Structure 1
Amino acid sequence: MTSLSRKDTLFVGLMLFALFFGAGNLIFPPFLGQEAGGNFWPAILGFIITGVGLPVLTVIAIALAKDGVQTLGNRVHPLFSVIFATAVYLSIGPFMGIPRGANVAFEMGVKPFLSTPDSKMALFIFTVVFFFLVYWLSLNPSKLVDRIGNLLTPVLLIGIALLGAGGLMKFDGNLGKTSAKYAESPVFSGVMEGYLTMDTIAALAFGIVVVTSIQAKGVTDRKSIVKVTLKAGVIAGIGLAAVYLVVGLLGAKMAGTYENGGQLLTVAAKQVYGQAGLMLLGLIVMLACFTTCVGLVVATSQFFVKLLPKVSYKMFVSMITLVSFLVANLGLNQIISLSVPVLIIIYPITIVLVALSFCHQAFQGSRLVYAGALLGTGIMSLYDGMKMFGFETDVLTSLFELIPLYTVGLGWVIPAVAGGLIGYTVHFIAKQTVGKTIVH
C-alpha cells in the first residue's frame, strides 16, 4: 500500500488536531482576545503563526527526517542531538507538559463542581483515574488513530462548536478595549502568546506519532508518508485556526475583565448555557487535555525506547505516567512557574533548527551553519530564560536591548541569522581551500 484513502487521511488529521489541542490552546486565545480588543485581528494572526504554522511545519520536518528530532539534532552534533532531544521530551512530557494538562483538566473540569475548598485529595483521586486511563490508552499506539481520530476528536469538535456558536450569538457587541501590550505591536505580542501553547515543541514528538500511525496503516514509502503527513497537517492546522478565531473573538466581545482565559470561558459557558454550560466546558477541557497527554506519553516513550532499546516500551510508559502523576500533584501554579522560562529557552532553538532543516540543501547541510545559527540563538534564549528565573545583569540587558526585535521577545532572530551567515562563510572558505564540505 503506497497511500491512504481520504477517510484514513482525514482521521490522521483529526488525531493530530486532538494531540495538539490541549487546554492551553483553548485558554490562551480568548485571553488574547480580551487584551487585544480592537487589535484582535492582527494579534490573532501572530498567534496563528506560532500556534498553527510553526507546529505544522515542524511535523512535516520530522516526517522528512528519518529518525525525527534526533536526525535534526545530529546535523549539529551527535551530543547536541541527545541533549536537545532529551530536554524537549522531558519538558513536554513528564516534567511539564503532561502534568500541566492533567492539572488544567482538574481545574476546569472537576474543581468548579466541588463543594469543599480543599482540593488536594480531590486532585489526587482525579489524577489516579486520569493517569490510569492515559496509561491504558498509551500501551498500544498503533490504535491511536481509531481511538482518538475516530472517536474522541469529533466529540471535542462538537463541544467547541456549541460553546463558540452560542457565545458569539449571545455576545455580539463590538470589540473591547486594547491593552497596552497589544496597542503598539499586536502581531509580535500574538506571536509571543503562541509560544505558550508549546505546540511547536510538541510537534517534534507528535511528528513521530503521526509517522508511526501512517506506517501502521501500511504506508512505508518515505514520499508517501510525507505526502500524507502534509495533508494531515493541513487538516489539523485548519481545525486549530478555526478554533482560535472563534474562542479568541468570543474573548474580544465579552464585557468585563478576567484573570485568565479559563475564567473567561467559564463565565461565558455559564451565561450561555447555565450549569449545563459548565459541564460542556468541563467535557471539552477534559477531552483536550486527555488526548494531548496520551500523545505525549506515547511520543516520549517511543523516543526513550530508541535511546535505550534494552528497556521495553511498556516500562517507559509506566515510568513516564508515574512521574507525570507525581509532578501533577505539585499543583498547577508551581508547574507553570517553571515551564515558562524553559519554553523561552527551548522554543527559539526549535524554530531555528526546523527552519534550517527546510534550507538544508541550500547550504549543503554544513554543520558550521547549524552550529553558528544555534549558537547565536542559544545565547539569547538562554539569557532570556535566566531572566525569567531571576538571573539578570543590567550590563547584558542594556547590551542586548540594542539588538533589533529584542524588546518584543524576538532578540534571537538577528543573532541566529548572523551566526548562520558566519558559519556559511567559514564553510565556503574551507571548501575553497581544503576542498571539503563539513556536513552531517
Structure 2
Amino acid sequence: MNALSKKEIVLISLMLFSMFFGAGNLIFPPFLGQSAGDQVGLSLAGFILSAVGLPILGVAAIAKAGSFYELAKRVHPAFASLFPLLIYVSIGPGLAIPRAGSLAYEMGMLPFLPQTAATQPVGLALYTLVFFGLVFWFSLSPSKLVDRFGKLMTPALLILLSLIFVKSLFGPKGGLVQAEGAYAAHPVMQGFLDGYLTMDALAALVFGIVVSNTLRSKGVTEPGRLSGYMMAAGTGAGILLAVIYLMLGAIGSTHAFLGKAENGAQLLTNVMGHLFGSSGILLLGVIFTVACLCVSIGLVTSCSQYFSGLFPRISYRGWVGLLCIVSMLIANMGLTLILKISVPILGAIYPVAIVLILFALAEPLLSPRSHLYVTAVGLVVVYGLLDLVNTMLLPRSMDFLLASLPLYSEGAGWVVPAFVGSILGFGVDLLRKRAY
C-alpha cells in the first residue's frame, strides 16, 4: 500500500486535465463570453458548474462504485454491458476521436494551405495519417502518460493559453455588450446547458479506468486510498479547467467589438489575428493541435484498455492500432458531417450518464440495489431514444409531444422523466420494505 507524494498527485491531475481538455473546451467558453455579454459572470458560473462540476463528480462516482461496469450494473446486467459499450464507441472511434483529428486539421493546417490544395481531400488524408500515427505511438505506453502529459503537453498548453490571456489584458478591448436571447433571460441555466455540451461527464466515466490503472501501477491498491487519490486528481483537473474557462470567457466577452462570430473557432481566430497578427493564427493552430492530440491519446488509451478487457483475443496494442485506423477513416468524412451526426447521439447518451453519476454519489442515502436506478434511468433512456428518433429519423414530427415537457426547448427535457422515475423507484423501494 503506497502513499503518493504531492508531486505525483499533481502530475496525475495534469494528465487528467489534458485528457479532458480538447478542442471543444477551447471553443465553447469564448463564444459564451461573446453571447452572454454583461451577463458573462452568471453564465460562466453555470458553465463551470456543469463543465467542471459534472466531470469531477463523474470521476468521484467511478471511484466510489469501483468501476464503470459496477456502476451501470445497478440498473441491470444487460445495461451494464450495452451502455458502457455505447459510450466507448461514441466518444471513442465512432465520434469524438475522429472529430478531434478533423478539427485539428481544420484549425492547425487548413488555414496555411493554398486555396487549390485546401479543397482537395488528399490534404486531410495525409494530415490524419500523421496525426493518428502520433496518437498510436503515444498510446502504446499508457504507463508513461503521466510523464508525457504532466511534464510536457499540459504545461505547453497552459503556457500558450496564459500567453493569449495576458496579451488580451494589455491589448485593445471593448466594453461588455448586452446579453442575447437565453443568456439575457436565464444566464445561469443557459451556461449550464452549454457546459454539458463539452461531454466531459461522459469522458470522466471513461477516463476513470486510466486514472485507476495509473494509480495501481504506482502501487496504490487499497480501495479507500485509491478512491481518495482519484477524487484528488479529479479536483485538481477541475480547478485547472475552471481557471482556463474563466480566462477564455473573459477573452470572448471583451472582444465582441471585433464583430459577431458564428462559432467559437471563428471568434478565437478573430481574436488571435487582432492580438498577434498573422502569427496569432499559427499560435492558435498549435494550441488546437496539442489539445486535440492530448484528448485523442487519452480516449484511444481508455478505449483500448476497455476493449482489450472485453475482447481479449485482440491485444491492447492491436486495439490501439485498430482504433487509430478506424478513427482516421471516419475523420476523413469531414468535421461538418461528424458534428451533424454526433450532436443528437451524444445528446441522448449524456442525460443517462448524469443520472447515473448523481445516484452513485447519493450513497449511503441511496442503496446500490435501489429501484431508482431502474425506473429513473429507464425513463431517461426512453426519452433519449424518442428525442433521437425525432431528430435524426423524423423531421421533428414529434415536437408537439416532446415540447410539452418543461425545459425541452432549453435542451433539458430529460429532467422531468428522471424526476418521475425517481418518485416511482422510491415508491417501489418503500413497498418492498413493507413487504419484508
Please state which band the TM-score falls in when normalised by the shorter chain: over 0.9
Structure 2: how far apart are the matches of 1:309 and 1:387? Answer: 37
Superposed, which structure 2 residues align to 1:10-409 within 5 Å?
10-66=10-66, 68-116=67-115, 117-254=118-255, 255=257, 256-389=259-392, 391=394, 397-409=399-411
Deviations 1:219-248 (A, max 9, x none): 111111121112211211111111111111
Which piece of structure 1 moves more, 20-29 or 306-315? 306-315
Deviations 1:328-357 (A, max 9, x none): 000000000001001110010000011111
Unaligned runs of at least 5 residues, structure 1: 436-440
Give the CA RMSD over aligned residues. Answer: 1.5
Structure 2: how far apart are the matches of 1:281 and 1:261? Answer: 12
Task: Tell me, yes or no, if the aligned pair for 1:341 and 1:386 is still in contact at 8 Å.
Answer: no
Give the 3-state SS of the residue equivalent to 1:172 in structure 2. Answer: coil
Task: Tell me, yes or no, if the aligned pair for 1:195 and 1:343 is still in contact at 8 Å.
Answer: no
Deviations 1:295-327 (A, max 9, x none): 000101111122122321111111111100000
Which piece of structure 1 moves more, 286-295 or 40-49? 40-49
Which piece of structure 1 moves more, 166-175 or 233-242? 166-175
Letter in 2 for 1:169: F
2:434 is matched with 432
Task: Tell me, yes or no, if the aligned pair for 1:163 and 1:281 is still in contact at 8 Å.
Answer: no
TM-aligned CA deviation for residue 390 of structure 1? 5.2
TM-aligned CA deviation for residue 119 of structure 1? 4.2
CA 291–137 in structure 1, closer or farther in 2 if over 3 Å, else same: same
Which piece of structure 1 moves more, 161-170 or 48-57? 161-170
Give the 3-state SS of the residue equivalent to 2:365 in structure 1. Answer: helix
Task: Tell me, yes or no, if the aligned pair for 2:9 and 2:229 is still in contact at 8 Å.
Answer: yes
Which piece of structure 1 moves more, 329-338 or 46-55? 46-55
Structure 2: how far apart are the matches of 1:227 and 1:175? Answer: 42
Task: Tell me, yes or no, if the aligned pair for 2:39 and 2:184 is still in contact at 8 Å.
Answer: yes
TM-aligned CA deviation for residue 55 of structure 1? 0.6
Q: What is the TM-score with the length of structure 1 in the denominator?
A: 0.95
TM-aligned CA deviation for residue 410 of structure 1? 1.7
Deviations 1:360-390 (A, max 9, x none): 4323223521011112212222233333325
Letter in 2 for 1:49: L
Structure 2: how far apart are the matches of 1:169 and 1:29? Answer: 20
TM-aligned CA deviation for residue 65 of structure 1? 2.3
Aligned residues with identical type, % of pairs: 43
Structure 1: how far apart are the matches of 2:189 and 2:120? Answer: 38
Structure 2: how far apart are the matches of 1:63 and 1:147? Answer: 24
Structure 2: how far apart are the matches of 1:338 and 1:403? Answer: 24
Q: What is the TM-score with the length of structure 2 in the denominator?
A: 0.95
Give the 3-state SS of the residue equivalent to 2:229 in structure 1. Answer: helix
Letter in 2 for 1:97: A
Task: Tell me, yes or no, if the aligned pair for 2:64 and 2:360 is still in contact at 8 Å.
Answer: no
Deviations 1:170-195 (A, max 9, x none): 24321123221312121221122112
Letter in 1 for 2:382: I
TM-aligned CA deviation for residue 132 of structure 1? 0.6
Task: Tell me, yes or no, if the aligned pair for 1:128 and 1:325 is still in contact at 8 Å.
Answer: yes
Structure 2: how far apart are the matches of 1:30 and 1:119? Answer: 31
- The structure 1 residue matched to 2:415, chosen from 413, 426, 429, is 413
Deviations 1:77-109 (A, max 9, x none): 111111100110000000110011111111111
CA 316–196 in structure 1, closer or farther in 2 if over 3 Å, else same: same
Which piece of structure 1 moves more, 422-431 or 146-155? 422-431
TM-aligned CA deviation for residue 138 of structure 1? 0.6
Structure 2: how far apart are the matches of 1:391 and 1:280? Answer: 42
Task: Tell me, yes or no, if the aligned pair for 1:56 and 1:234 is still in contact at 8 Å.
Answer: yes
Which piece of structure 1 moves more, 164-173 or 294-303? 164-173
Task: Tell me, yes or no, if the aligned pair for 2:36 and 2:187 is still in contact at 8 Å.
Answer: yes
Letter in 2 for 1:79: A
Task: Tell me, yes or no, if the aligned pair for 1:59 and 1:207 is still in contact at 8 Å.
Answer: yes
1:438 is matched with none
Task: Tell me, yes or no, if the aligned pair for 1:376 and 1:415 is still in contact at 8 Å.
Answer: yes
The count of aligned residue pairs is 432
Give the 3-state SS of the residue equivalent to 1:175 in structure 2. Answer: coil
Deviations 1:32-88 (A, max 9, x none): 11111111111111111111100111011112222x211111111111111100110
TM-aligned CA deviation for residue 392 of structure 1? 5.7
Letter in 1 for 2:427: T
Which piece of structure 1 moves more, 205-214 or 188-197? 188-197
Structure 2: how far apart are the matches of 1:363 and 1:31? Answer: 39
Structure 2: how far apart are the matches of 1:393 and 1:121? Answer: 36
Structure 2: how far apart are the matches of 1:123 and 1:198? Answer: 25
TM-aligned CA deviation for residue 407 of structure 1? 2.8
Task: Tell me, yes or no, if the aligned pair for 1:301 and 1:317 is still in contact at 8 Å.
Answer: yes
TM-aligned CA deviation for residue 139 of structure 1? 0.9
